[in-house]
Amino acid sequence: MSDTKIWAHSGDSHLLEPDDLWHQIMPKQQADRMPRTERISDSEERVTVDGTSFTRPLPKIYTRKGTTGETIAEVSSRPPGARDLVQRMKDLDEEGIWAEVVYQSIGLWCSLIQDPQLIRDAARAENEWLVSEVQGLAPDRLVPAALMPMLDVADAVAELQHAADIGLHLISLPTGNPPGTKDYNDDSWEPLWAAADEAGMVIGFHIGTDGIDQARAFGGPGGAVLNYVNTTYGGQFVAQKLVLSGVFDRHPDLKVLISEGGATWVPFIGDRMNEGYRQHYMFVRPQLQRLPKEYLYENVYASFQHDETAPAAMTAMGYRNVMWGSDYPHAEGTYGHTQKTLHELFDDVSPEVRHRITRGAFEELFPHVSAPPA
Ligand code: MN
């Protein structure tokens, strides 16, 4: 293994918001209703959103494992920069991570809010905070994802335009449909895709955002990993819905990023869709201008962190929009062993493939980011 530092952009990172974020940026009456978490034991936390609570398991200790399962380090807390943006940049420099797509953490629970006014106001406040307090710290490296009010399509369109106006480059949508709205393949969403296309806004879907039930659908032996794998599929379905409903026929320049869900599913799902499209042609509507797999390969980007087969999606299966991601600072991520992971993934592929997966695909979505140190 070479010891040269590999610099990579990350298509999947997160921000741990300050505990009092909502109270910093919203009136108290509204802030009190926003998502919050509290640790209720060593192994559980309670999530409360607008008066409704549920508990979820917490890892007791963050065990960092290599790609062959060996323990790299055991640490009892998050990375030092998890909550401190200045320290975060030091962590990134040490790990070899340059630019990042930055999703929310607690903000991801906002998809459970059911009051349109509350989520409208929260999204507006959060996005302004993201521009001034996050993106503003390193505009050539940090690409925070806008929070979106998704209970009403017109609200989503308005906030997308606001997010674009204040300089954000990416919106974050849940893979599962928000309560009360039609599915993403329904024509009612067309104004949102059109607005994203017009604003040049990338649409990010982080896996595991299709509701709390998906994350605990299985019990019994193997349940933890079954649930982990299960959170992946929502990203695959949302990509299929956009392709098959003709969104990319109408908006050939629209770019979608499916974060944290791996990359080899793209060739697989592409093949399945093509077979269905061809063999069941008589039932298919709408008819597309090209085969489904072509849109999946062109308009959809997919990030992975450890998957050892992911580079082969490009080298062996012709899918070029494979993007690496660190998932910093989450337990599933590469913090503490990023260089080891990058070397294991990329030492045996060509420089072109390595460049495309660690940098090229990311820079295609976000051409404004700067280049890492040579
Ligand atoms: Mn992630």
Read off the pLDDT of residues 253-277 as tens digits, 9 standing for 90 and up: 999 999 999 999 999 999 999 999 9
How are beta strands 97-103 and 322-324 bridged, if at all?
Answer: unpaired
Question: Does residue 59 carry a pLDDT above 80?
Answer: no
133-142, 178-187, 316-325 — which is least confidently predicted?
178-187
Report if residue 27 sits inside a domain.
Answer: no
Q: Is pLDDT of 152 > 90?
A: yes
Distance 303 CA to ligand 1 centre (A): 9
Quote the percentage of the chain above a pLDDT of 70: 94
Would you say residue 64 lies in a domain? no
Residue 59 lies in a domain: no
Residue 290 CA to ligand 1 centre (angstroms) = 32
| Number of separate domains in the chain | 1
Dump pLDDT digits (tens) for 173-210.
999 887 788 999 999 999 999 999 999 999 999 998 88
Distance 336 CA to ligand 1 centre (A): 16
CB atoms within 10 A of CB 96: 19
220: in domain: yes
Task: Give me the CATH number covering residue 243.
Answer: 3.20.20.140
Report CA(208)–ligand 1 centroid distance (Å). 9
User: Which residues line ion ligand 1, judged by CB < 5 Å?
Assistant: 12, 260, 327
Is 172 within a domain? yes
Which of 145, 235, 233, 249 has the alpha carbon at shortest distance from 187?
A: 249
DSSP track, 359-372? IIHHHHH-TTSPPP
* pLDDT above 70 for 125: yes
Per-residue pLDDT at 186: 97
Q: What is the mean pLDDT of residues 84-92?
A: 95
Question: How many Å lie between the centroid of ligand 1 and the Cα of residue 220?
Answer: 26
Can you tell me the mean pLDDT for 134-152? 97
Confidence of residue 43 (pLDDT cuts 50, 70, 90): confident
pLDDT in tens, 62-83: 555 556 666 655 554 578 888 8
Residue 304 CA, ligand 1 centroid: distance in Å: 9
For residue 233, being part of any structural domain is answered with yes
Centre of ligand 1 from the C-alpha of residue 323, in Å? 13
Distance 272 CA to ligand 1 centre (A): 26
Contact assessment for residue 307 and residue 285, using Cβ atoms and an 8 Å cutoff? no
State both tokens at 183. 């599915």
CA of 325 to the centre of ligand 1 (A): 8
- pLDDT band at residue 164 under the 50/70/90 scheme: very high
- pLDDT score of 361 more than 80: yes
In this prediction, residue 179 carries a pLDDT of: 76
Ligand 1: distance of its center to the CA of 280 in Å? 36
Ligand 1 centroid–CA 116 distance in Å is 26
Is pLDDT above 60 for 147?
yes
Is 72 contained in some domain? no
103 is in which domain, residue-wise?
Answer: 8-18+83-365
- In the reported structure, the alpha carbon of residue 342 is separated from the centroid of ligand 1 by a whole-number distance in angstroms of 17
Residue 329 CA to ligand 1 centre (angstroms): 9
Q: CB-based burial of residue 251 (10 Å sphere; 0-12 exposed, 13-18 middle, 19+ buried)?
A: middle
State the distance from the centre of ligand 1 to the C-alpha of 288, rounded, in angstroms: 32
Give the pair of three-digit tokens for residue 161. Answer: 């335009």
Model confidence at 120, pLDDT cuts 50, 70, 90, reads very high
CA–CA dist 240, 236 (Å, integer): 6
Structural domain contains residue 97: yes
CA distances to 2, 93, 257, 339, 351 from 335, rounded to whole Å, are 19, 11, 22, 9, 24
Is the confidence at residue 143, as pLDDT, over 90? yes
Please state the pTM of the whole predicted model: 0.93
For ligand 1, the distance from its centroid to the CA atom of residue 330, given in whole angstroms, is 7
Q: How far is the CA of 34 from the centre of ligand 1 (A)?
A: 21
CA of 227 to the centre of ligand 1 (A): 15
What value does the mean pLDDT of the chain take?
92
Report how far ligand 1's centroid is from the alpha carbon of 50 (Å): 24
What pLDDT is stored for residue 76 in this prediction? 45
What does the alpha-carbon distance between residue 23 and residue 106 come to, in Å, rounded to a whole number? 14
> How many whole angstroms from 293 Cα to the centroid of ligand 1?
25
